[in-house]
Amino acid sequence: MSYANPNRKNVDVIILGSGIAGLVLAAELNLKGLKVALSCKGQLLESNTSFAQGGIAAVTGVNQADSVEAHLKDTLLAGAGLTDESIARTIITDAKSAISRLEELGVYFDRADGALELAREGGHCQARVLHRKDTSGFAISQALIAHLRSCDRIQIYENMFAHELIMQDNTCTGVRFLLEEQLVELRASHVVLATGGLGQAFSRTTNPSIATGDGIAMAYRAGARLADMEFVQFHPTALSLPSTPAFLISEAVRGAGAHLIDSEGARFVQRFHADGELATRDVVSRAIFSVMTERNEPSVFLDLRPIGAKGILHEFPNIVQTCRNWGIDPLVRPIPVSPAAHYFMGGVWTDDRGLTSIPGLYAVGECASTGLHGANRLASNSLLEGAVMARRLAQVISGSVISLNVRRTPVQAAGFKAPVARESLDRFRQLMWQHAGLIRQGASLAEFIDSSLSETLHQVPLVQAEIEAANIRLLGHLIAQAASNRQESRGAHWRSDYPACDDKNYKRRHMMARSGNAWLELPLPAPLLRAEAMAFAK
């Protein structure tokens, strides 16, 4: 179906987004007897979750050599000093029960001899990643969507674009949508952002076209606090061919034994880190960038052949087929790869239950910044965070009885800006890659910030593509501003003019809001988590 009848009423919670966080939350609230309106701007399967290849990192007891403490240690190391240890411990400890719940909801993970089959990825000291071949996220999404479609209490609204949050007395009371050239208002006491990331802010990204940061931009405009906006993770290995998408080549192939080589066939990552191809993503991405720069070449190469043909075909059939579609047979020759924007560690600031700084507004998944990922996400921790935080948030908002009021009004075009030319947005995304991408520098950031200051915070045309463009421009400006403010290199944030990590001045989280910016120490004080009690540090 394209969308549900928007005149249906009497739901309890509005969820925006159909990735793992939104889908699991809907399932949990349905189980608790609540009625849910689940909305997405495209089809349910269009999400970053569906594009995820690797899987979910979780300590399940299958690997006897693994432990919660080991997983926590890997997460803290990857986070480069900015991971909130308390939140990370909570999420990692809850992983086993979250996996069990996913299986109850119909998700199937690969097994070997009846036991869960585990893969090892970069930054992990043990094999702990549950997967379904190399299309893990797609399989998870399919299973969860099938479950939700059987739930009578869940109203599904596809192709309905969230335009802005409705605010009353500094409280979020609903959402305004665009649907068939009309405005639709949905009202509820609980509004949950599960809208995913913002990879489309960059000209080269592994993210689908829907990843325009809409939920984060809406929250900022409504007055919510954002955190860690400077930390964008660039995946080291995306297909690099002229006029082709930056198709993700999963980190799992390196965990299985694939090698990164230069144009002469020599391995090189060990020059930059002792862990070689299994170093964290920031290290491998910069190693690739350095070799590309040294040799003045557009890519390096990922050689899957050390895995063996049988293993490649068994574990990575989607990667093989997609590469063959673009004229590269991984069984015969290495794949040209280079980094691409992949995952956003920043987002709407939340506590360990998904509460934001605005009453009535919650955030889960990639659009939220809980503190789990710190300065650099550990591979496959994102799907885990989405599943665990969705279940925790369900506990917070379950039991409430709320009514949802729907009002349809014609689009009013008067008073809005003229559409932004597509060429202008493409140029902006190229400038983001150039100035706020993998390698950053102060003067370059300042030049970009000055050129992007004209971005409006309020009035944008009531056309989906133009709202998305405005969201990209707003968030791109905030990313650049945060990157300029952090005058050090840490995790995924690399400043060529400040190449050292500066714990004395910057072992702090960077907060941004329309009311001002601030640096806050870890762990964040609990009273700041409510808007009426929150005051930025001076």
Q: What secondary structure letter does DSSP report for 210?
A: T
**Which of the residues 254, 281, 377, 490 is marked catalytic?**
281
**Contact indicator for 242, 255 with CB cutoff of 8 Å:** no
Number of helices followed by number of strands (H, E) in the chain: 16, 23
61/399 Cα distance (integer angstroms): 33
Using alpha carbons, select from 73, 71, 82 the residue that is nearest to residue 501.
82
Quick check: helix, strand or coil at residue 312?
helix
185/406 Cα distance (integer angstroms): 5
CA contacts within 13 A on the Cβ side of 200 = 21
**Contact indicator for 311, 119 with CB cutoff of 8 Å:** no
**Contact indicator for 183, 163 with CB cutoff of 8 Å:** yes
Told to judge if 295 belongs to the known catalytic residues of this protein, a careful annotator would answer no
> What is the distance in angstroms between the CA of the first residue and the CA of the last residue of the chain?
51
The residue written with tokens 């080269």 in the block is: 204
**Contact indicator for 150, 207 with CB cutoff of 8 Å:** no
Quick check: helix, strand or coil at residue 456?
coil
Q: Considering Cα of 7, then 12, then 16, then 21, what sign does the dihedral take? A: negative
**Contact indicator for 251, 54 with CB cutoff of 8 Å:** yes
- Chain-centroid distance of CA 506 in Å reads 23
Structure tokens at 296: 């003045």
520/511 Cα distance (integer angstroms): 7
**Contact indicator for 358, 224 with CB cutoff of 8 Å:** yes
357/14 Cα distance (integer angstroms): 18
Kindly list the catalytic residues: 281
